[in-house]
Amino acid sequence: MKIGITCYPTYGGSGVVATELGLALASLGHAVHFISYAIPHRLTRFVENIYFHEVETSTYPLFEHSLYDLSLTSKMLEVIEYEDLDLMHVHYAIPHAVSAYLAKQVWKKSGKNIKFITTLHGTDITLMGLEPTFMPLVKFSIEESDGVTAVSRFLKEKTLTNFNLKKEIEVIYNFIDIDKYRPVEEKPFRKHVASCGEKVLIHTSNFRVVKRVTDTIRVLEKVKKEIPTKLVLVGDGPDRSECERLARELDLQKDVIFLGKQDAIEEILTAADLFLMPSQSESFGLSALEAMACGVPVISTSVGGLPELVIHNETGFIAEIGDIDRMAKYTIDLLTNDKKYKSFSKNSRDRAVNSFDKNLIVPQYIKYYESVLNS
């Protein structure tokens, strides 16, 4: 099968999932053509059956802003024609599904057809998609997609409700490479950040307000009163400066380690004792799954798709948004009970292996591709 994949090439979850899916499909012998404005950040080496097509935006003086969506449509058409694609798979509705729809309509004029599938990842539905200026376009692009998938049951229901749709949406969960993300004995990074044997909490995100990263620092403040602990924050974004300010205000600047954006995230995760995810909105929680695969229990909020991933009192704990006291209590409970911690750690790894292994999820995408192509 020849598949065109369009995604954002950045560190966000939608780009990560799209890239990992492309890599998995390529390893199975499918030809995968990535179409985006930059090479996805997880495509760090040559991989057989993977091709990249860069979208170049016009700099004509008449246009005050770049016409990325139209440039993307043109590049899609070019790849569809010259690479003889069987299917387009776009991740994130705006503007990718709209561009795919335009490409399909233009291609139809030549008497040929191309089907496209849209995967919804979260903020394209719960945030951007609800903007009054975008809402009609997002609804239209979903309705006109030949197939639609969502990364959680929560996101499927949210989409159907928010846009008053009767569209069939297939739930296909995010997945993990359990051989790449796994517990290890040697943890050199842990010795670096916790040289005196402190416990290590970790959080990774794009540091947007919706992630509530400052809550992780307030949790640390309470936990440190009972247990020597360090907090490692991975990522970057608009809220980082506020987090740095808060750490200094609480006199925790030596205990909060800001790593910025990192590629070798699995090496960092294996050094952690617990993963904190205090988000106020989360359609799935891919970074939490990565931690669980490394045997790291998760303490999260009860929002969105997180309860579909984190099993309360088994692979971690779930608290209400902003309930710092309860998150700190759960953290102390796990870090001071070795038997309970080992059980939660094993349960986390087992859940990742038994429910979210790429060898279980990728075949679901292939089956869905075939059903759309044959419909």
How many CB atoms sit inside 10 A of residue 329's CB? 17
pLDDT tens for the chain, 375 residues long, are 999 999 988 767 788 899 999 999 999 999 999 999 888 888 888 889 999 999 988 776 666 667 788 899 999 999 999 999 999 999 988 889 999 999 999 998 888 899 999 999 877 676 665 667 788 888 999 999 999 999 999 999 999 998 888 889 999 999 999 999 999 988 888 888 888 889 999 999 989 999 999 999 999 999 999 999 999 999 999 999 999 999 999 999 999 999 998 878 889 999 999 999 999 989 999 999 999 999 999 999 999 999 999 999 999 999 999 999 999 999 999 999 999 999 999 999 999 999 999 999 999 999 999 999 998
Does the pTM of the predicted model rise above 0.85? yes
- DSSP symbol at 42: T
Q: What are phi and psi of 163, to 5 degrees?
A: -110, 5
The Cα–Cα gap between 315 and 334 comes to: 11
Q: How far apart are CA 207 and CA 237, in angstroms?
A: 5
C-alpha 160 chain-centroid distance = 21
Domains in the chain, CATH or no CATH each: 2-175+357-374 (3.40.50.2000), 188-356 (3.40.50.2000)
* Other CB atoms within 10 A of residue 108 CB: 11
Structure tokens at 100: 């795919």
Give CA–CA dist 28/302, Å, rounded: 36
